[in-house]
A = this chain, B = another copy of it.
């Protein structure tokens, strides 16, 4: 084996030393060390790389483009792109307008504020945002979340004026937090929400929102303000006397229509425009129907009068101090995180589909500025809507100009068309929202999670059950907690493996994964598959000794040669801290008492530096640090044979 290895190395019969040395690399000073870690945390995507080696003029232009991504595409904008953006902009506007009216109700604010929120924020996003495909405006989950949280502070029915002010306050703080996270490049906080937890949370929120729509669909007046399944069902079946058959018939008929067009569009991608214009068509038809039959006189609730005109300034309405400001800040923080998680994920998804890059932190600044501007102009929290972004993409959007087109359509609506919505029945808005939120339930993702990781599925289920049976906050809390528990579990119990030789190679692999891997007599090789820190150093220490004990028991039964060398493969160990080094020191002491020599294979740069700094390398002897497991085993086998021949 040893000679084969030697041959394989030279290939020309040259004599090379058998053992490669692991050198201790030159040390970095304190600032370089801390600097590189901070750099990786905040600037791993190297946003300033493009500035290197440019002229001052070019740097200035690049900076402007960095801050205002609109400058990147406006110069290249042409007629063909405009046509595409007008088509997609009008399509998403037709979806947005009826959804806005419904989502505003969910958030507890007047319907017109939903329309306002589809006017200013998309314009601001078009200037600051980098995504070409995203459609900006109010979204279902954030609206539900804001409605639930704000109602705990102020009752929207008893004190609608202050409730609206509090909503603007929350939007203001949401903008501040979003922009702050982006400016300080803290975007990675959204990465602590696990995908599985989000899938469960979204599905739970979608069903909760759909259930809330039973109020409009059944025409109930005294509906519960709680959102859990039990309260809603009690409310629905406790007020059967309030049910209005006319409302139910209109609602269900159009719901069937909407779901049919959606299913059709899913089967034939080309027919997506049918499902895209279906909501506005439904609104038009049902409004006309109510206007002609005046069923509103028979109790069918209608939207009623919507104030005409552009967004009024609301900067004076925001609470900047006092307990309501604190309450707004709390709601704003939660809304900020959820809105960012949703918005940035949408941006990333479509950017990957069309092969362009999105800087998550820059997007957060765009969302932040947009919500700040929104809070000054009577809007509540807006973000990227998944369903509308998908339609935007399908209808051939080219640039963020489609958001501008949508804003213009909404503006025209606000200035001219609001009186037309007077006779729109509430049940039709409920039907539109139900059909919209159903797409948030991602059964396929849940199934995939179940297949791939059962613990992940538990997280998904936990978040779902929390939202469904308790409240949207509790669901979110469960999602966050489960995500953290999972991180912590993985940090405390890293994977370790006993290594065996794959016959006919110099490769050493996990003996449980490769049953044909053979152990080398007298030597135990163990691989540690994680950086060694305080959170796992005790476990790793115990686990290595446990492997050793197990092996020694097995050997004592089978009269095998006793273990004389324990090799720890440090390939995957990217770093080690003081606790880790202490654990190895203790391990070395314990092994020495058992007459077993400790050896390391392939330590990384930071690990070998720290072993050297702590003087443990000098104590162990640098001859016990090998370049590969294979070389370590060759040397140890040689030494074993030597001592055996000496004994003979």
Say whether B575 contacts A490, CB under 8 Å.
yes
Among A5, A452, A512, A545, the one with the most B-chain Cβ atoms within 10 Å of its Cβ is: A452
Q: Does A161 contact B (CB under 8 A)?
A: no
Q: Does A491 contact B (CB under 8 A)?
A: yes
Q: Does A56 contact B (CB under 8 A)?
A: no
Checking B33, B546, B582 against A45 with a beta-carbon cut-off of 8 angstroms, the contacting residue is B546
Report A637 CB to chain B, min CB distance, Å: 16
Say whether A488 contacts B487, CB under 8 Å.
yes
A348 / chain B contacts, CB cutoff of 8 Å: 538
Say whether A505 contacts B9, CB under 8 Å.
yes
Query: For residues 32 through 91 of chain A, which have their beta carbon under 8 Å from a beta carbon of chain B?
Result: 33-34, 37, 40-41, 44-46
Say whether A507 contacts B627, CB under 8 Å.
yes
Q: Does A191 contact B (CB under 8 A)?
A: yes
Copies in the complex: 2
A102-110, A213-221, A525-533: which one contacts chain B? Answer: A525-533
Q: Does A535 contact B (CB under 8 A)?
A: yes
Query: For residues 333 through 351 of chain A, which have their beta carbon under 8 Å from a beta carbon of chain B?
Result: 348
Among A1, A25, A449, A492, the one with the most B-chain Cβ atoms within 10 Å of its Cβ is: A492
Bound state CA distance, A10 and B4, in angstroms? Answer: 9
Q: Does A456 contact B (CB under 8 A)?
A: yes
Which chain B residue lies CB-closest to A574? B495
Say whether A455 contacts B574, CB under 8 Å.
no
Q: Does A371 contact B (CB under 8 A)?
A: no
A193-201, A388-396, A407-415: which one contacts chain B? Answer: A193-201
Checking B7, B46, B449, B495 against A546 with a beta-carbon cut-off of 8 angstroms, the contacting residue is B46
Do A581 and B452 form a contact, CB below 8 Å, given A502-B20, A539-B44, A605-B513? Answer: yes
Checking B4, B40, B512 against A605 with a beta-carbon cut-off of 8 angstroms, the contacting residue is B512
Q: Does A313 contact B (CB under 8 A)?
A: no
Report A116 CB to chain B, min CB distance, Å: 33
Q: Does A153 contact B (CB under 8 A)?
A: no
Checking B1, B483, B505 against A20 with a beta-carbon cut-off of 8 angstroms, the contacting residue is B505
Report A548 CB to chain B, min CB distance, Å: 12
Q: Does A554 contact B (CB under 8 A)?
A: no
A256-264, A290-298, A586-594: which one contacts chain B? Answer: A586-594
Bound state CA distance, A33 and B452, in angstroms? Answer: 11
Say whether B8 contacts A454, CB under 8 Å.
no
Query: For residues 464 through 503 of chain A, which have their beta carbon under 8 Å from a beta carbon of chain B?
Result: 483, 486-495, 502
Q: Does A518 contact B (CB under 8 A)?
A: no
A579 / chain B contacts, CB cutoff of 8 Å: 194-196
Q: Does A604 contact B (CB under 8 A)?
A: yes
Q: Does A448 contact B (CB under 8 A)?
A: yes
Q: Does A225 contact B (CB under 8 A)?
A: no
Q: Per-residue CB proximity of A356-396 to B under 8 Å, as 1/0?
A: 01001000000000000000000000000000000000000
Q: Does A614 contact B (CB under 8 A)?
A: yes
Say whether A40 contacts B578, CB under 8 Å.
no
Which chain B residue lies CB-closest to A572? B572
Q: Does A543 contact B (CB under 8 A)?
A: yes
Q: Does A621 contact B (CB under 8 A)?
A: no
Bound state CA distance, A267 and B505, in angstroms? Answer: 55
Checking B8, B41, B483 against A5 with a beta-carbon cut-off of 8 angstroms, the contacting residue is B8
Query: For residues 121 through 147 of chain A, which have their beta carbon under 8 Å from a beta carbon of chain B?
Result: none
Q: Does A648 contact B (CB under 8 A)?
A: no
Bound state CA distance, A353 and B487, in angstroms? Answer: 33
Which chain B residue lies CB-closest to A505? B9
A574 / chain B contacts, CB cutoff of 8 Å: 494-495, 529-530, 572
Do A445 and B487 form a contact, CB below 8 Å, given A4-B11, A40-B493, A191-B534? Answer: no
Q: Does A247 contact B (CB under 8 A)?
A: no
Q: Does A268 contact B (CB under 8 A)?
A: no
Checking B7, B494, B571 against A8 with a beta-carbon cut-off of 8 angstroms, the contacting residue is B7
Bound state CA distance, A574 and B488, in angstroms? Answer: 15
Q: Does A504 contact B (CB under 8 A)?
A: yes
Q: Does A506 contact B (CB under 8 A)?
A: yes
Bound state CA distance, A531 and B456, in angstroms? Answer: 15
Report A61 CB to chain B, min CB distance, Å: 20
Bound state CA distance, A602 and B527, in angstroms? Answer: 14
Checking B195, B488, B513, B545 against A577 with a beta-carbon cut-off of 8 angstroms, the contacting residue is B195
A320 / chain B contacts, CB cutoff of 8 Å: none
Which chain B residue lies CB-closest to A491? B487
A240 / chain B contacts, CB cutoff of 8 Å: none
Do A578 and B453 form a contact, CB below 8 Å, given A188-B492, A488-B192, A614-B448? Answer: yes
Bound state CA distance, A510 and B22, in angstroms? Answer: 12
Say whether B195 contacts A534, CB under 8 Å.
yes
Bound state CA distance, A487 and B533, in angstroms? Answer: 8
List 11 contacting pairs A-B, 8 Å CB cutoff, sorted by A.
A4-B9, A191-B536, A191-B538, A195-B579, A196-B578, A360-B538, A445-B578, A452-B613, A453-B577, A487-B535, A490-B533
Interface on A for B, CB 8 Å cutoff? Answer: 1, 4-5, 7-11, 16, 20, 25, 30, 33-34, 37, 40-41, 44-46, 188, 191-196, 348, 352-353, 355, 357, 360, 445, 448-449, 451-456, 483, 486-495, 502, 504-507, 509-510, 512-513, 529-531, 533-536, 538-539, 542-543, 545-546, 571-572, 574-575, 577-579, 581-582, 586, 589-590, 593, 602, 604-605, 610, 613-614, 627-628
Known: A45-B546, A353-B589, A512-B605. 16 other contacts (CB 8 A): A7-B8, A37-B489, A188-B493, A191-B536, A193-B534, A194-B579, A195-B582, A352-B586, A448-B578, A456-B577, A486-B533, A495-B574, A529-B574, A529-B604, A572-B572, A572-B574
Q: Which 7 A-B pairs have the closest CB atoms?
A: A572-B572, A8-B8, A495-B574, A195-B579, A194-B534, A513-B605, A4-B11
